[in-house]
Amino acid sequence: MKKFLKMVLAVICGILILNALVIAVFAGLATPGTPAVPAEGVLKIDMSKIVIGEQSRETDPVTMIQSRGQSIQTIGIWEAVSALHIAAQDPGIKYIYLKTDGSTTGLANLSEFRKALQNFRTESSKAVVAYTEAPSTGSYYLASVADKIYMTPHPGANVSITGISSQMFFLGDLLKKLGVNVQLIRHGKYKSAGEMYTRANSSPENREQYQVMINSMWETLSSEIAQSRGISVEKLNEYVDGLRLCLPQDFIDCGMADALLDRKALEDQLAVLAVADKFKDVTMIPFADYVTSKITPGKGARKIAVIYADGSIIDGSQPENVSGDRFASIIEGIREDSTVKAVVLRVNSPGGSVLASEKIKAELDRLQAEKPVVASYGDYAASGGYWISNNCTKIYSDAVTLTGSIGVFGMIPDFSKTASDVLKVGVETVSSNKHGDMFSLTRPFDSAEYNYMLRSIEDIYDRFTTIVSDGRDIPKEQVDAIGQGRVWTGANALEIKLVDEIGTLEDAIAYAAGLAGDSDLANWNIKGYPAPPTIMETMMSSFQGNQEDYSIKALFDKIKEPRTLALLPFEIKILQ
């Protein structure tokens, strides 16, 4: 027996030592230091190797292994835009070479980055040249900012410029087959989050808001593409609807590309633009290296704090997403920091927990009583994301941001038929009071219990419309009319006064600086909160399996307990 225990202990010690060694080796590999950037060259932006996100994050070795060695670095939108400003004034940067294929950047950040590239051209009079082999709607939208668009002449590429679309999935019939009865209580005919679990198709209201949103997003993209290429929006829609953009030559014929160049011809052209005899004499400077080299943490005494509310709003103090207790503590610390003179709340959240949203809002209200707070919206600022931010001094939104969703819903599943009809399990409950087992999930609500839940939902909706009315100075009746859970794009939200201006994170920071008394951003230390996770923290999270789970088990985990949420009902993605 003693020998067996010794063997077990030896194995455990061996595993612990091995894990420690692996972590130590990975940590060593993951800290290469600041890359050396040549003094002169072409700034190369390859969108298949970077993601423009909310905050910069280093790529950890575990992720690299999982992605088969492909290092995809996340660059924060503020750092990316700041680097382009520096490049515009950098005499060593001759021009920008932009490869847009393979982009996975969200649409709002893609739009902000595109504006920054346009500003680079204006500020510097330097060229941006783009190259594409398999353009999609999103990647071509980014490429269209360039002075010249070059495209491969080779056939066979997967061209997919067909507009914007989004898919909705409905599990109502599947759950019924499994005996699950999801009881949905909501306020807002457009608050469609729970429909996924209760219906086999969308409600007319849900379908309506989807169509309006998609149309608004395409209107933004198509107008910017058409303007850059010198064609009308009507002509662009004719090309897209008529499936005219299929072969490389089609892009030339339709004025959507400037030349077809194979690899050698492209290299020759890049050399000519760099005033070099041969392509091998052209120095390419990777954008990620340039950002790391040029963007350093601010050291000034006066700070503008940028709070990144990035992710779902959840209860507790977990490091993932926007956890209520953690963010309340962070905001309190910023309020008490005398070196912070102004704050930008950067929201990229579909919402979530009502309780957590209220905790965060309470701290933001205290913060705003002492310091100016300006909001900037990313891809999403809806439901809970709008709840926490609508009272800011000014709200900047991208035209394609999804916002609003002023509504609330509750989901309470009933597994009684699953137990009896599917699993053949008998369930018997003994309660002290009449409704003691109403949250047991083993029987449906009676009318009194449904009304009990509805009372809570109505109270939360009244609270939501009240804070929006107060925060936006809009009559409550008007808030209710544009509320009802409906989601709006930033462009539409501007028309109904849910946001103040279509603008970028940079615009919001500049405005906050002005409110603090000095509009020159060079005089400010722009500091992000919370700090992005370190490589070690990301690695440990990967080892622990803290990743999105799309299994059937995960589906049941989402609906297995009673919940009241202010949450966006879906994600809109450009299908590529």
Q: Which residues are catalytic?
A: 191, 383
Measuring CA to CA, how many Å separate 350 from each of 188, 357, 377, 426, 525?
17, 12, 11, 39, 29
Contact between 437 and 465 under an 8 Å Cβ cutoff? The reply is: no
* Extended beta strands in 416-536, E state: 487-489, 501-502, 525-529
Packed helices 204-229 and 233-241: angle between N→C axes, nearest 10 degrees? 120
CB contact at 8 A, 324 and 315: yes
Helical (H) or strand (E) element with 417 = helix 416-417
Can you list the pairs that 113-119 forms with residues at least 24 positions away whose Cβ atoms lie under 8 Å? 113/52, 113/77, 113/80, 113/81, 113/142, 114/141, 114/142, 114/145, 114/224, 115/504, 116/80, 116/81, 116/84, 116/85, 116/504, 116/506, 117/84, 117/142, 117/145, 117/146, 118/145, 119/84, 119/85, 119/88
Give DSSP secondary structure letters for 427-447: -----SSTTTTTTSSSS---H
How, if at all, do strands 284-286 and 351-353 pair? unpaired
Residue from 279, 264, 300 nearest 153 by CA: 264
Residue bearing tokens 């400037």: 258
**Other beta carbons less than 10 A from residue 513's beta carbon:** 24
CA distances from residue 487 to 188, 470, 569 in whole angstroms, order as listed: 11, 20, 9
User: How far apart, in whole angstroms, are the C-alpha atoms of residue 176 and residue 179?
Assistant: 5
Which of 259, 224, 263 shows the shortest CA–CA distance to 107?
A: 224
- Residue 30 and residue 73 in contact, taking contact as beta carbons nearer than 8 Å: no
d(CA 368, CA 86): 32
Distance between CA atoms of residues 55 and 60, nearest Å? 15
Max CA pair span of the chain = 89
Tokens 């021009």 belong to: 95
Quote the CA–CA distance of 379 and 351 in Å, as a whole number.
12
| Nearest residue to 98 via CA among 71, 118, 82 | 118
